[in-house]
A = this chain, B = another copy of it.
Amino acid sequence: MTRPTVTGRALAVARGEEPADVLIRGGRVFSAPTREWIETSLAIADGVIAGWGDRDAREVRDVDGAALTPGFIDAHMHLESTKLWIDAFVETVLPLGTTAVVADPHELANVLGLQGVTALMRAVEALPITFAVYAPSCVPASPFEGSGAELVASDIVTLIDEHGAAGIAEVMNFPGVVAGDPEMLARIAAAGPLRVDGHSPELSGPALDAYLAAGVESDHEATTAQEALEKRRKGMWVFLREGSASRNIRALAPTVVAHGTDHAAFCTDDREPSTLLADGHVNDCIRIAVESGIDERDALVMATARPAEYHGLHRLGSLGPGHQADVLAFDALGSWVPAHLWQAGRMLVRDGALQPGAVPTAPPEPLLYGTVNIGRHPAPEDLAPPVADGARVRAVGVESNSLTTRHAVVTVGSGEDLCRAAVIERHRGSGRVGSGFATGFGLTRGALASTVAHDAHNLVCVGADGADMAAAAARLAEIGGGQVAVLNGRVLAEVSLPLAGLMSDRPAGEVATALSQLGRAAAEELGVTIAEPFMQLSFLALSVIPALRLTDHGLVDVVAFAHIDAQIA
């Protein structure tokens, strides 16, 4: 974060010699360093807190005893998981109190590489949010998938030096780091004095030591208090995550209650639009933390001062003079939804409502569109080659609320749950298709398809037959990406995600509604029984997490780290 030079006017306001832009009067100001509530006024000038205490002002806003806190900071998240473009995201989270996020555009980078990341950086410039972009460190994430792009160490240096990337995003390839893979170490070294975020689920003991020794500084994958405690003791920062699928704050709260907030912050990692709309964003993390027994002030510290401290955002996370005037006013703290919000001194939320014009549109650049290129459309038999009843096949076994899959063996035609699955390379039009089987969806008719498919984001589909799978794939190719449910060649419901095949260019409410209709169509018309079929679909190809995955190169035994035949000879 470069240091903004203070204006002469802001200094004059600080000294009390010129009227402030706004005086927020009658509130209690949260002081993170001393964990106190201070009754004082805040004078804002030229976007910064110019001073504490009453001063003349062009506009006086009496907040009548409201609690005033710094804007909330998300220590780690992926914009792509919200399926929203940046302007729709900002519109959604500003009224929830979020004024800064640290984002890892890992998915965008897998599709569009450096140019996708920099397009996002350019788009965010005009928006009322601090959006610190970290350089994706593991693109592609796996050698088993054909991704749209690759980012090597020199690209990371380019992102930092030429485009202002603020750190190195989660180093997911922790086995590579632990083993000393030179390319991974070079990417970490590219951080220079900046931060290196980690991703190390269940890593402990000597392997964790090696990961830390390599220079990784944070983790957001801890799921137990014991895991978080070992990581913090060893100097790692722990981001307590509350995403849509992975919800860890309740389990991690005891480590904060027992040992304080040092090296702890909140993050949302992956939140669906429906979660943002129903539950909230960082404010939801605070709510759950307080419900879990964490002191209200400690929860606020982890949503403001701590992430600012870790990420070196020294002008954020405090309402002290000289800090950016990102101010939230809460009528009652328990609600965790601010009545008013000022971002860089401008009142953007008033009485809970986003003000007209508060968030300008940030039109996505053309390069973000048209990324779904499957070449020659696959025939039904490419996606679901004939297989005889009685054949024994390996099927990717999905389970609700789990990212891992089972390595299932199913007999075709036995009545056990089974559907066809296929992954179509969609970046280069190579025509490459990996086909196989899946179990656990409950799907009995039609097909589902998605261009959101971690981490390479190829076109993944499951179906009862090859014809509907082909129709679903063709539809996604036609609309440039998204998620769709098809029955008898007809589209039942769909979400268009034309930006890199990952994000919508529509408002959050529209996207959430479409997603909800899509889920209903799958359940009600295709027989799907699993709770989040499209989430499971989007992880079907994730060839870095056990046990069995299907990619455009075919079936992968992730435990053995090798390709394997779908049909058992």
* A contacts, CB < 8 Å to B: 1-3, 5-6, 8, 10-12, 14-16, 31-36, 38, 48-53, 55, 178-180, 185-186, 188-189, 191-193, 195-196, 205-210, 212-217, 229, 232-236, 255, 259-260, 262-263, 305, 309, 312, 314, 318-323
Q: Bound state CA distance, A305 and B36, in angstroms?
A: 22
Which of B49, B55, B262 is close to A34, meaning CB atoms less than 8 Å apart? B262
Q: Bound state CA distance, A7 and B312, in angstroms?
A: 26
**CB <8 Å contact, B234 and A3:** no
Which of B179, B213, B215, B312 is close to A3, meaning CB atoms less than 8 Å apart? B215
Contacts of A49 in B (CB 8 A): 213
**CB <8 Å contact, A15 and B210:** yes
**CB <8 Å contact, A33 and B321:** no
Q: How far in angstroms is the closest Cβ of chain B from A205? A: 7
Q: How far in angstroms is the closest Cβ of chain B from A161? A: 13
Q: How far in angstroms is the closest Cβ of chain B from A169? A: 16
Q: Which of A53, A233, A234 has most chain B Cβ within 10 Å? A: A234
20 residue pairs bridging A and B, Cβ less than 8 Å apart: A1-B193, A2-B193, A5-B189, A5-B215, A11-B210, A31-B235, A32-B262, A33-B233, A34-B232, A34-B233, A34-B259, A34-B262, A50-B210, A51-B206, A52-B234, A53-B206, A209-B321, A210-B321, A212-B321, A217-B314
Contacts of A236 in B (CB 8 A): 320
CB-CB under 8 A for A50 and B209, given A34-B262, A312-B193, A320-B234: yes
Q: How far in angstroms is the closest Cβ of chain B from A9? A: 9
Q: How far in angstroms is the closest Cβ of chain B from A117? A: 21
Which of B191, B213, B312 is close to A50, meaning CB atoms less than 8 Å apart? B213
**CB <8 Å contact, A191 and B234:** no
Q: Which of A50, A215, A321 has most chain B Cβ within 10 Å? A: A321
Which of B31, B51, B235 is close to A213, meaning CB atoms less than 8 Å apart? B51
Tally of this chain's copies: 2
Contacts of A214 in B (CB 8 A): 6, 11, 322
Q: How far in angstroms is the closest Cβ of chain B from A511? A: 36
Contacts of A180 in B (CB 8 A): 8, 11-12
**CB <8 Å contact, A33 and B262:** yes
**CB <8 Å contact, B322 and A212:** yes
Q: How far in angstroms is the closest Cβ of chain B from A19? A: 13
Q: How far in angstroms is the closest Cβ of chain B from A536? A: 34
**CB <8 Å contact, A3 and B260:** no
Further 5 A-B residue pairs, CB within 8 A, beyond A31-B232, A33-B235: A6-B214, A15-B209, A15-B210, A193-B312, A213-B322
Contacts of A318 in B (CB 8 A): 235
**CB <8 Å contact, A207 and B15:** yes
Look across to chain B and name the residue whose beta carbon is closest to the beta carbon of A262: B33
Contacts of A191 in B (CB 8 A): 3
Look across to chain B and name the residue whose beta carbon is closest to the beta carbon of A38: B233
CB-CB under 8 A for A209 and B14, given A34-B233, A235-B321: yes
**CB <8 Å contact, A3 and B188:** yes
Contacts of A1 in B (CB 8 A): 193
CB-CB under 8 A for A309 and B312, given A33-B262, A178-B15, A180-B8: no
CB-CB under 8 A for A209 and B52, given A11-B180, A235-B321, A314-B217: yes
Contacts of A36 in B (CB 8 A): 233, 259
CB-CB under 8 A for A305 and B262, given A33-B235, A206-B51, A234-B320: yes
Q: Which of A10, A189, A233 has most chain B Cβ within 10 Å? A: A233
**CB <8 Å contact, B2 and A53:** no
**CB <8 Å contact, B193 and A33:** no
CB-CB under 8 A for A213 and B11, given A53-B206, A191-B3, A206-B53: yes
Contacts of A35 in B (CB 8 A): 259-260, 262
**CB <8 Å contact, B309 and A229:** no
Contacts of A14 in B (CB 8 A): 178, 206, 209-210, 212-213
Contacts of A12 in B (CB 8 A): 180
Q: How far in angstroms is the closest Cβ of chain B from A428? A: 34
Contacts of A5 in B (CB 8 A): 185-186, 188-189, 215
**CB <8 Å contact, B213 and A6:** yes
Look across to chain B and name the residue whose beta carbon is closest to the beta carbon of A5: B189
**CB <8 Å contact, A321 and B3:** no
Which of B55, B179, B235 is close to A322, meaning CB atoms less than 8 Å apart? B235
Q: Which of A2, A52, A196 has most chain B Cβ within 10 Å? A: A52
**CB <8 Å contact, A320 and B48:** no
Q: Which of A1, A229, A255, A262 has most chain B Cβ within 10 Å? A: A262
Q: Bound state CA distance, A234 and B179, in angstroms?
A: 45
**CB <8 Å contact, B212 and A320:** yes
Q: How far in angstroms is the closest Cβ of chain B from A539? A: 29
Q: How far in angstroms is the closest Cβ of chain B from A30? A: 10
Q: Bound state CA distance, A206 and B309, in angstroms?
A: 25
